[in-house]
Amino acid sequence: MSTLRRELGLLEAVVYGVGLILGAGIYAILGEATGVTGGSIVVSFLLAAAIASLTGLSYAELASIFPKAEGDYIYVRKAFDREIIADVTAFGRLSMGVISSAAVALAFSGYLSVFVDVPSVLIAVFLVVLMTGVNFWGIELSTKLNLLFTGIEVAGLLIIIWIGSGSWGDAQVLQAPNGLFGVVNASFLIFFAYLGFGSIVNLAEETEGATVTIPRAIILSIGITTVLYVLVGLSAVALVDWQVLGRSASPLAEVAAVGWGPFGATALGVIALFSTTNTVLILQISTSRLLYGVSKSEYHVFPETFSRVHPSRQTPHYAVALVGLLTIPFVFLDDIGLVAGLANLMLLIVFVLVNVALLKLRYSRPDADRGFRAPLNVGQLSLTAVGGLLTSLGLIVFYIATW
């Protein structure tokens, strides 16, 4: 069989996006980001959300025109008809997927260390191998686990919001010990938290009514997670000193400990294990689907072997295995901030190309069937795509200048 099984509806696609975004953001990078910006982490969340939303609208429109597992690659290829540009896009997305997976696996080890003294790198490698196995087994099992784990991680965030809601007035949201530089730097790190919306498009060939469902899933995922991010960030800095959060490998457990004592820290630590596990799983799924898509015979970006589908499991088994293997070396960097920064850089390069692709396709294919059209237009010019392009370029310049 050469095609993937369509098992996902709007609910499942939104849950995939929400699960991926939440796990990578709040549970993995909150401490690192708060450590550079203090109480103004709330402002950084809002800034990162605005930037992500601009590019998210471009993804939504492009996914409604080309509902393919190869996602970003096919958008750029159709826009420019230049294989080298499309190949750079495919390489960037593949790199982002495996590097991000490594970063979140390291976050899993950080939370596990609250309970037992374990070698972080080896535990992270074990998690990657285990989730590769689940990915191979089938999209139906992966979807069920994703629904369960996402429910658990959202419950954990609601607990944090409930614990901190009475202290929101104490949060110093304009506190910026490192000034504007710190706010922007934190926004760059937090941008890692929004990588999930770009990966939703890779599930298009396993989604029913993809031309409409995928755009809706992207918009809903960004909206839902932004509300949760802002409220959790507000609760965190209201209850715990920003410097303590910045030093912690398990920041939400620190927040829960203030409200519920040792039991709270334990409960959030366990929930964070589910959350980060869920994120690694979804990253492995979406990245392997991208690899599967760009390895099809009409592209030959990678050997056609990786576009083969297992006859009984109906998953791209060779692509699944390669993505798992490519993830492991980045785990050995053993630095969440560094790994997340590298993932962001690759992601932002892809975002630049995706926004330019939409701008070009608006003129070269104005009559293409669209299940969704980005708002705020002047004629065929998409203002949101222009905004996504400029902000992505700005963050790239910022990252390179501060390397």
Cα–Cα distance measured from residue 11 to residue 216, given in angstroms and rounded to the nearest whole number? 10
| Any domain includes 220 | yes
Helices (H), 138-209: 139-164, 179-191, 196-200
Cα–Cα distance measured from residue 304 to residue 260, given in angstroms and rounded to the nearest whole number? 54
Is residue 97 within 8 Å of 227, Cβ to Cβ? no
pLDDT of the residue at 103 = 85
Cα–Cα distance measured from residue 74 to residue 76, given in angstroms and rounded to the nearest whole number? 6
Encoded tokens for 138: 């089938």
Cα–Cα distance measured from residue 125 to residue 330, given in angstroms and rounded to the nearest whole number? 10
Cα–Cα distance measured from residue 209 to residue 227, given in angstroms and rounded to the nearest whole number? 27
pLDDT of the residue at 275 = 85
Encoded tokens for 81: 């008809």
Cα–Cα distance measured from residue 13 to residue 9, given in angstroms and rounded to the nearest whole number? 6
Is residue 285 within 8 Å of 142, Cβ to Cβ? yes
Q: What are the φ and ψ backbone dihedral angles of 247, each rounded to 5 degrees?
A: -90, -10
The range of the structural domain enclosing residue 266 comes to 10-401
Residue 282 is part of a domain; what is its CATH number? 1.20.1740.10
Is residue 292 within 8 Å of 316, Cβ to Cβ? yes
Encoded tokens for 206: 């396993």
| Any domain includes 87 | yes
| Any domain includes 3 | no
Domain count, the chain: 1
% of the chain residues with pLDDT over 70: 98
Task: Please tell me whether residue 39 adopts helix, strand or coil conformation.
Answer: helix
* Residue whose tokens read 């599930």: 203
| Any domain includes 1 | no
Encoded tokens for 108: 């899993």
Task: Say which residues have a Cβ less than 8 Å from residue 91's Cβ, sequence separation at least 6.
Answer: none
Q: Which of 363, 348, 395 is nearest to 89 (CA)?
A: 348
Is residue 72 within 8 Å of 89, Cβ to Cβ? yes
The pTM score is 0.85
Q: What separation in angstroms does the CA of 327 have from each of 19, 323, 336?
A: 20, 6, 14
Q: Which of 401, 395, 332 is nearest to 121 (CA)?
A: 332
- Stretches where the chain sits below pLDDT 70 are 1-3, 23-25, 28
**H or E segment to which residue 273 belongs:** helix 251-294
Encoded tokens for 265: 């820290």
Torsion of CA 103, 109, 111, 112, to 10 degrees: 160
pLDDT of the residue at 1 = 42
First to last CA, the chain: 46
| Any domain includes 5 | no
Task: Say which residues have a Cβ less than 8 Å from residue 397's Cβ, sequence separation at least 6.
Answer: none
pLDDT of the residue at 144 = 87
Kindly report, residue by residue over 341-378, the tens digit of the pLDDT: 777 788 889 899 999 999 999 999 999 999 999 999 99
